[in-house]
Structure 1
Amino acid sequence: MAAVSASTAELESLIETGADRAGSPCVAPLPATDPMRNLADACLEGLAEIARQEARTAALKVRLTAEYLQATRALASPASSPRERAVQEMALVAEVACVLTVSERSAGALLSECQTLTTVLPLTLTALQAGTISWQHARIIVDETTTLDPDGAAALEAHFLDTDAPTPARGCPAGDLVPTRFRAKARSWRERHHPVSIEKRFTKSAADRRVEYVPDRDGMAWLSAYLPAHTASGIWERTTAAARSMQGPDEARTLTQLRADVAATWLLTNGTGAASGTADGGTGLGGDVPSPRAQVLITVPVLSLLGATDEPSLLDGYGPIPASMARRLIADGADSFYRVLTDPRDGAPLEIGRTNYRLTKAQRQWLRLRDGKCPFPGCNNPSLDNEADHLLAWADGGTTGISNLGQPCRKHHRLKHNSKWKPTGASMNNPPGWTSPAGRDYPSEHQDWEPPHWPDHILATEETGRDPDLEPPEDPFPEWHQFTAAHEFPAADMDGPGWPAPLDDFLPEAFVPQGV
């Protein structure tokens, strides 16, 4: 209540001051150097304060709902049967639904979320009350922790909300991410740290794959498919590539329309040719589903690729996928791949530099690894559709190094060149942020890289005697990434009897620990 009152007082101050100065409810007490600039800035401040007030009000709503739930249950007489208890719960939900004028389903979901926030997720409720995250962010944390045990739920919320956590999230705070992007990051962290192996969860979920048909208005309908991530991603990228190839001055259809027409044509004709490839991808699912040949970027830990660990890989535009899925994509679907050295301390890729104007193919792939998507705040546009761009123009002295490159989508590329929105500096690990015409700085989303998982037999062997609790040693060859940029990745026969290949077939001798 105190936090909500403070927000209300702040807004009242803005209104009163504005009424005295310019007859507008948005003008703040700023120096009268530029009245219209002051008006615009004060309106933005008011909107920001309203967003904080909405979050604090949501926190108050959570506490009131949870208190009502507790008090009502205390007032109710003990249920004599499961049926009577169910009726009591129905009455409780109906009361909340009526007082809030929402459906009973929405009221039931609210009661469940409020109970979780007040009993399991204290950091989330505190952040909501402080106004640093929105109600949408809080609901996402509740949703992503539903199947986690209490320790797992605490670890997830600490990762995003506690700056003193052992491995806090990188980049801008959780509340500065739009909810859809925050959900993607929270889901990615959950996939990597779930107590049940992603292999087991994938096998179970893949049994539920299906296609759904839902009639809609105006002679239209929805056709959706629930598929393994690599199959769905390959279909999406392939239809997008085909749609882009059809664009031109004489083509009136939009990319979205072309993509839909391409998919419909392929499904209703034999234009794609006969399907080929293994039937089940190693999961025992059955069905003739070919490996996607579209340009799909996956980041695979080398030890996972070699079969030494089951550490999840990252599928560009989706998130963590099982190691078996990544190995199948490489074995069956990859015409070529790049070796990218990552730092064993934090999992971040190492830079590949260049001084010429044009980017190498490796640098374009690097931008995809670093950014994952268009770096504009809240943009979901995937890397394949984005355009490489110099932050400081080449004509103004900018270099073609990773720290001076971004990959905005076409919309935000135009925004940069045709408005006062400007990207801020980047680095080899951090995508550029943005500065608005109003002078406000908006940090870009960062990917949450993590150190690779080293098998116990590598960190602790009789020969090395290493303690598995020790941190990885200092990098003995800090410039090795320059070597990798100039050498080809040795080809591997993934269908032969020697796959997975021994570790020393891929790494220089100095990098292979003794006893491995």
Structure 2
Amino acid sequence: MLSAESVAAVEAVVASVAVLAALGGAGADRSNAPAADLLRAGDPTSATDLAGAGTDRSDPPVVDSLPDGDPLRRLADGCLDGLAEVARLEARTAALKVRLAADYVQATRALAPPAPSPRDRAVQEMALVAEVGCVLTVSERAAAALLADSRALMSELPLTLAALQAGTVSWAHARILVQETAGLDRAGTAGLEAHFLDPDAPNPARGCPAGELVASRFRVKARTWRERHHRAGIEERHATSAADRRIEYTPDRDGMAWLSAYFPADTAAGIWERATAAARALQGPDEPRTLTQLR
């Protein structure tokens, strides 16, 4: 049995699947294209109803709007419609995953006996994360990240979760909002979210909607807003972040590995500049390696 919110998320996923089925069933004649048009207009319920139109012999035939059109052009347009719908489906599936994960955590914690000590509580949390990781076949680190993102979306970012379920922002956009609101107070979190997702906010974002921006570009905009409105000064935030500096090692294929570092910006820039200068000094007519390889 699922919660009412999870059921609504399932219905949103079903609506996208129905439109994809309509696009696939329409073939070259695109007889069910109105379903995709309705979903683009923001009416998934009507789109679901339309998805089956024309599949029963008793249904009135749908007139092809392009009877003499180029079949290759219609195929290309159909593929683009399908890709757009898949993107919405992925967003809605992500919203469903968030709700299911949050509901699982809530139910599991309610079923668990009271933990007599912090150690027992930590063991319960580790078991919870391990179960999610096993079901999704992901690492415990990835499962823990999903649960943390789900908790933030469910408790602090209702507009983001609603947009994700509507398919108007992607999972990447939702995670950016989770990350860029971390460390903000409730007012700051609500302000950043409303700025990008609420057109009726006092000072809404200008330009194209957040979900239509490339994720990397959206991150820049969200981070800029955060920097301008954060209640703590840059010096205080920098000191807090500098305490979390670290080096990480990640094995890769073919006997290779990645070594990454999280440093203060001036330290990292200094290392980069010195490595670049040393690499340029090694360049010459007899050196076949690129600057990146030398660096």
Q: Same fold (TM over 0.5)?
A: yes
Between the aligned partners of 1:66 and 1:211, the Cα distance in structure 2 is: 32
Shift of 1:213: 7.8
What's the counterpart of residue 137 of structure 1? 173
Q: Tell me, what secondary structure is at the counterpart of 1:168?
A: coil
Q: Which residue of structure 1 aligns with residue 20 of structure 2? A: 11
What SS does structure 2 have at the residue aligned with 1:99?
A: helix
Aligned-partner Cα distance in 2 for 1:202–1:90: 31
Q: 1:170 aligns with which of 182, 186, 206?
A: 206
1:39 maps to: 75
Q: State the 1:76 CA deviation.
A: 2.0
- The CA deviation at 1:43 is 0.7
Alpha-carbon offset, residue 233 of structure 1: 5.5
Q: Deviations over 1:360-413 (max 9, x none)?
A: xxxxxxxxxxxxxxxxxxxxxxxxxxxxxxxxxxxxxxxxxxxxxxxxxxxxxx
Deviations 1:263-305 (A, max 9, x none): x4xxxxxxxxxxxxxxxxxxxxxxxxxxxxxxxxxxxxxxxxx
Q: Report the alpha carbon displacement of residue 259 of structure 1 after superposing the two structures with TM.
A: 4.7
- Structure 1 contact 93–104 (Cα < 8 Å) conserved: yes
Match of 1:51 in 2: 87
Counting only pairs closer than 5 Å after superposition, residues 70-219 of structure 1 correspond to structure 2 as 70-206=106-242
- Native 8 Å contact 2:247 2:262 kept in 1: yes
| Structure 1 stretch displaced more, 193-202 or 83-92 | 83-92
TM-score, reference length from structure 1: 0.43
Which residue identity lines up with residue 69 of structure 1 in the other structure?
A: V
Aligned mates of 1:86, 1:125 — CA distance in 2: 28
Deviations 1:31-81 (A, max 9, x none): 132211111111101100110011111111111111121122222222222
The equivalent residue for 2:58 is none
Provide the rounded CA distance (Å) in 2 between the counterparts of 1:18 and 1:221.
Answer: 47
Match of 1:465 in 2: none
Structure with bigger gyration radius: 1
The structure where helix makes up a greater share of residues is 2
Corresponding residue for residue 272 of structure 1: none
> Aligned to 1:115, what secondary structure does the other structure show?
helix
Question: Residue 30 of structure 2 contacts residue 78 of structure 2 at CA under 8 Å; is this kept in 1?
Answer: no
The count of corresponding residues between Structure 1 and Structure 2 is 254
Change (3 A) 1:10 1:225: closer
RCO higher in structure (CA 8 A, sep ≥6):
2
| Contact 1:242-1:259 at 8 Å conserved across structures | no
TM superposition score normalised by structure 2: 0.72
CA contact (8 A) 1:30 1:38 kept: no
Q: Deviations over 1:167-214 (max 9, x none)?
A: 222222111122222222222222222221002222454566677787
The gaps in structure 1 that reach 5 residues or longer are: 265-516
Identity %: 67
Take 1:214 and 1:4, find their aligned partners in 2: how far apart are those partners? 35
Q: Deviations over 1:58-109 (max 9, x none)?
A: 1111111111211222222222222322222222222222222222222222
Counterpart of 1:15, as a letter, is G
**Aligned-partner SS, 1:12:** helix
The answer to whether the Cα contact below 8 Å between 2:23 and 2:30 also exists between their aligned partners in 1 is no
Alpha carbon RMSD of aligned pairs, Å?
3.6
